Chains A and B, each alone.
Chain A
Amino acid sequence: MSKTVIVSGNFAAAYGAKLSRAAVVAAYPITPQTEVVEKIASLVADGEMDAQFVKVESEHSAMAACIAASNAGARAFTASSAHGLTLMHELLIWAAGARLPVVMVNINRAMGPPWSVWADHHDALAQKGTGQLQFFCESNQEVLDSVIMAYKICEGSDIMMPAMVVEDAFILSHTKEPVEIYDQELVDEFLPPYNPEYKLDVNRPFGFGSLGMPDWYMDFRYKMAEAMDKAVDRVEEVNKKFKEVFGRDHGGLIEEYKTDGVDVLIFTMGSISSTSKDVIDELRAEGHNIGLARLRTYRPFPAEKLRELTRNVNVVGVLDRSYTFGHMGDSAGEIKAALYGHKDLILKNYIVGLGGRDLTPKILKNIMLDTLSLQDKELDEEVEWVDLRINQERWRR
């Protein structure tokens, strides 16, 4: 029987790994992720979860252990945050190149200095080119569900890529919400055991990851690109299947919120989407024709879906909880690139909530009113930093 419990996003991640029957969990603690692996360690110690819990000396080693476990044919799981995730960087790329469907949860936290432990997407977005599939979650339930779906997507024999499920520090990681823990049999039916074609086996030895000369390297990289392209459809298929089995739909590539026939569209990622939806309701009640699209899958980037969504939209506001220094917010840059040559519209990028700065309904409403105003006037700034000390008066009024 399934049961609903009141748990943090961290515990939801741990239960996601348990329900997915992760057989090897290697991890190193870092705030605000620590609880994920602490919970898994206790589930294993109590005999509730049948897994090998490997204590390692760094996040680099955590992913290395997951890679080895996955190569041996075990379903592997880890979790990290910010500096831990970036220390893992080399191995994130290795896991993708080795075509190993390791699934990890990243609790996104700002990078130092200044030291911070609060929500910010810089850590995860800095890994967007590593070959990880990336899923940005809005609720604790979505974290649990996304872990199960990530294994299902990534273990497809034509995909075989690693994935990162992302949740916002504290806003999800340490906030308790009702989360349904599904019946194990139902999950087992949805997610069959991991059984890769090639694995470490003393009776059938292979060499993994040895030297590839220039006459072959590029062709193997192309195979990864092909898998990522296929993953676009697979995300939608698995999302649909998940809905059939478990009754929940988190939006697949992009979650649409009241987007039918809108003139203005707001793009968000992660937990700020919930507050933003309330603000959208408020603005719509006031007569504004505005909707919201939540970028849920960031890799593969849902370019095609994005073009469909914006076909009849004239103005777009993109909220980024990160900044790529020297350019703009990451998702704004990606959205612009996807639309170039397909759609001419006004796009304004808002840099918001870095290092956990709070995003109140009032600030979000002022942002959306600013976007709405672009229907009648010239674009003032392509990128604007919102709620800085120098402009707080404007955004908080």
Chain B
Amino acid sequence: MSKKEVFRIVIDPKDHRDVPLTWITDCPSYLMTKTGSWRTLRPIVDNEKCIKCGICWKFCPDVSIHVEEEGAVVDYEFCKGCGICAHECPVDAIIMEREDDHV
């Protein structure tokens, strides 16, 4: 499901009477709560080096990197900066930089 298709069952519920019996969402929770702000280190991809092997995508524990035409693309809204992608990259195309250098 792409983010564009996401909608909420109830828009701005006022209280418990407006929502289903339990915590049911019509999208995965990560689309509701953007957790990229937790990051202290930011992965930077050098697509000159990227060979699009997909190993970073396979190892990312939070599905926050994937391979597109131009190379690996990081979803900074959800990436928490663990650095596994950089560690696993066989051609060292990803480096981790301090987040505050990018603010």
| Residue positions of A touching B, CB distance < 8 A | 97-99, 160, 197-198, 205-212, 216, 219-220, 222-223, 227
Contacts and interface: CB of A to CB of B under 8 A. Distances in A.
B28 interface: yes
Interface stretch (B18-26, B44-52, B57-65, B78-86): B18-26
A282 to B, nearest CB: 49
Contacts of B28: 207, 210
Nearest to B28: A207
Interface in B56-98: none
B16 A209 contact: no
B21 A211 contact: no
Nearest to A205: B1
**3 nearest A-B residue pairs (beta carbon):** A210-B29, A219-B16, A207-B25
Nearest to A209: B23
A207 B29 contact: yes
A143 B12 CA distance: 45
Nearest to B29: A210
A223 B23 contact: no
A216 B22 CA distance: 11
A198 B32 CA distance: 19
Q: From B16, B23, B27, B28, name the one whose CB has the most chain A CB atoms within 10 angstroms.
A: B23
B45 to A, nearest CB: 29
Nearest to A223: B16
Range of interface residues on chain B? 10 to 19
B24 A206 contact: yes
A207 B27 CA distance: 6
Contacts of B15: 219
B2 interface: no
A51 to B, nearest CB: 25
A169 B22 CA distance: 35
30 contacts: A97-B22, A98-B22, A99-B21, A99-B22, A197-B20, A198-B20, A205-B1, A205-B26, A207-B24, A207-B25, A207-B27, A207-B28, A207-B29, A208-B22, A208-B23, A209-B23, A210-B23, A210-B25, A210-B28, A210-B29, A211-B29, A212-B23, A216-B23, A219-B15, A219-B19, A220-B16, A220-B19, A222-B16, A223-B16, A223-B22
A357 B19 CA distance: 49
A223 B27 CA distance: 22
Contact of A206 (B21, B25, B32, B33): B25
B23 A220 contact: yes
A209 B28 CA distance: 10
B9 to A, nearest CB: 8
A206 B26 contact: yes
A222 B32 CA distance: 23
A222 B17 CA distance: 10
A222 B29 CA distance: 22
A256 to B, nearest CB: 33
Contacts of A212: 23
